[in-house]
Amino acid sequence: MQRLDSFVKQHWGWWSLLIAVLLFRLPTLCEPYWYGDEGIYLTIGNALRQGRLLYAGIVDHKTPLIYYFAMVPSQLWFRILMMVWMMVTTWCFYQLVSSFGWRRWQTWLSSWIFILLTSLPAFEGNIPNGELFVMGFVLAGLLLLTRTRLWLNLLADPRHARLPSHWSKRDITLTVLAGMSGGLGILTKVPGLFDVAAMAWVGWLVLTAGVVDKEFKAHDWWPRLKLVITSWWWLGLGIVTPIALSVLYFTLRGSFASYLEFGLLYNFHYAGNWQLDLPWPWLAFWFTLPGKMLIMAVGLLLVTAWQRWQSQALSWSLGWLLLALFGSLLSNRPYPHYFLQLVPALSIVVVAWLGELTHLKQYRYFRDKSLVLVVWLATAALVALIPVSLLLLKFGMYPTLSYYQNWWQVVTGQISRETYYQRFNWIIPDNTRAANIIRSAGAQEIFIWGTNPMLYAVSQTAPTGRFTVAFHIKDINAFDETMRDLVADPPLFVVVMNEDAETWPEMQTFLTANAYQPNYSFEHFVLWKRPSN
């Protein structure tokens, strides 16, 4: 007990942060099945538990790991997994910022910004979305990278850098493991690729730090280049390894074509089919792929050029922020959880940016101080790209204060659980009653025409066919495939959502041909039942 007490006192800083994560996330354990993407994850996870093959037998358009995480027995366990995951992720972030050698207030402020933005519902931090799982993998990889000489040379003064004459086994192991952790992040959600690029960005800054320094010595170039090229090689090997293993796995399972179509290539289609309503063509250009790449490239070049005038921690995190902004804007959709990708880099940039002013006294000449202030303001201009982008995308956040007020009211008995649930989504009472009917009939499969994956999840059923929502069927014109699956194995129940009742005439023909009868007409959908044989 004395050792435990000593350990807690010694590490009270990050212990208090983990407790804060736990407290902020307690209300997530009381939420109903209300969120669409989570419903899809849990539905696919349930189908995988029943023996379906991912992509070939059940499909969504993300890389595979998020669905394997969702193979838990229920939403409650998914939320518990997310809570533990974010506690570990927060610890990794705290250890990462501690490596900068910051003052205590900077480490604490950065960590609290991180916790608030990833835990509160404003950016859907309360939902087990892919961005939070990617975040854990990326931060774990970066934490491993901080133990290498590449990272030490990032933070070192270029004039006093200790460039290794050979690459140690320890550095190789840590760098490969860091890359593998990043590769797992990509296998959770493709935009994680741009967070993984922040690992390679470390090497770029190490390579260019000596060049932009006025006291650069030409004989330092080769050792610096050798260090960076070698680190990129081992990092790339680590990144590719889990991705290659995933390809091998789905190939051996006979579903490589489906994995390629939906797990990998569909993301390019998804990123390009959202239309923005912007008033001027020149403004719309900056949200096209070439426009976003141009902004990112110019921003990274500017950060490279002025890194002499700011700390390497700020230069690195600012580059990461630009990469993450590109990733979060990949599809130009204003979904709040997409912008969770910005949080780790933003939490570092803001604090490092504030800390730059405290270092002005180290510059003896007015010219040097003026240059630092110009770079400081230029950094603020790059960060301002975030609110400008959100404004142009007509971004909206979820309410936070009412979220915790509602939870406190239901915990203290001021409102009923039914009232509490309806404040998340008005469809929940219908889903609850329909799920009871479906479960009491012992159905393992149903089909929902429309968008209501939460009903699959709460009723612990899988869809007949591969698709969980009408969006995918419409988007890739999979009507014929879906109808073939329905005809081959008519489910006991078919749910037709009111908003999609007239969008597929063949559905009504199928219901009539198979003698389905309206079992119950709910407010938001009709539950059809096939006569028992």
| 359 or 438, higher pLDDT | 438
Q: What's the confidence (pLDDT) of residue 5?
A: 59
pLDDT at 431: 97
Percent of the chain scored above 70 by pLDDT? 92
Each residue's pLDDT tens digit, 367-406: 667 777 888 889 999 999 999 999 999 888 999 999 999 9
34 pLDDT band, cuts 50/70/90, is very high
Instruction: Convert 289-323 to b/e letters by CB count within 10 Å (16 or more is b).
Output: eeebeebbeebbebbbebbbbbbbbbbbbbbbbbb
User: Contact, 45 vs 70, CB < 8 A?
Assistant: yes
pLDDT band at residue 164 using 50, 70 and 90 as cut-offs: low
Range with the poorest average pLDDT among 260-269, 398-407, 446-455, 477-486: 260-269
Token pair recorded at residue 289: 């792929």
Beta strands 525-529; 493-497: pairing state: antiparallel
The mean per-residue pLDDT over the stretch 520-524 comes to 95
Per-chain mean pLDDT for the chain: 91
Q: In what order do the strands lie in the sheet with 493-497?
A: 462-463, 445-449, 493-497, 525-529, 517-521
Buried b / exposed e over 327-338, threshold 16 CB at 10 Å, is bbbbbbebbbbb
Question: What is the 8-class DSSP label of residue 494?
Answer: E
What are the b/e assignments for 66-99, b being 16+ CB within 10 Å?
Answer: bbebbbbeebeebbbebbebbbebbbbbbbbbbb
Q: Is the pLDDT of residue 79 over 60?
A: yes
369-373, 439-443, 500-504: which has the minimum mean pLDDT?
369-373
Residue listed under structure tokens 């109903």: 32
* 171-180, 206-215, 398-407, 440-449: the lowest-pLDDT one: 206-215
Q: How far apart are CA 328 and CA 238, in angstroms?
A: 24
Which of 78-87, 267-276, 277-286: highest mean pLDDT?
78-87
Dump pLDDT digits (tens) for 327-350. Answer: 999 999 999 999 999 999 999 999
Is-contact 177 142, C-beta < 8 A? no
Dihedral of the alpha carbons of 427, 404, 78, 108, in degrees to the nearest 10: 150
User: 63 forms bridges with which residues in the sheet?
Assistant: none
Q: What digits encode the pLDDT tens for the residues 194-229?
A: 999 999 999 999 888 866 665 555 556 777 888 889
Q: Is 240 a residue whose pLDDT tops 60?
A: yes
Whole-number Å distance between alpha carbons of 21 and 18: 5
pLDDT at 454: 97
State phi, psi for 62 to the nearest 5 degrees.
-110, 165
Residue 271 or 28, more confident: 28
Q: What is the pLDDT of residues 128-163, one digit of tens each?
A: 999 999 999 999 999 999 999 889 888 876 555 566
What would you measure as the largest C-alpha separation in the chain, in angstroms? 90
**Above 90 in pLDDT, residue 362?**
no
- Whether the pLDDT of residue 122 is over 60: the answer is yes
- 455-489 pLDDT tens trace: 999 999 999 999 999 999 998 999 999 999 999 99
pLDDT above 70: residue 257: yes
- pLDDT score for 152: 86
Q: In angstroms, rounded to a whole number, what is the distance separating the alpha carbons of residues 198 and 191?
A: 12
Q: What is this structure's pTM?
A: 0.93
Q: Print the SS3 string covering 90-132.
A: HHHHHHHHHCCCCCHHHHHHHHHHHHHHHHCHHHCCCCCCHHH
Where residue 91 falls among pLDDT bands split at 50, 70, 90?
very high
Q: Which long-range contacts (CB under 8 A, 24 or more apart) does 277-284 make?
A: 278/392, 283/392
Cα separation of the two ends of the chain? 65
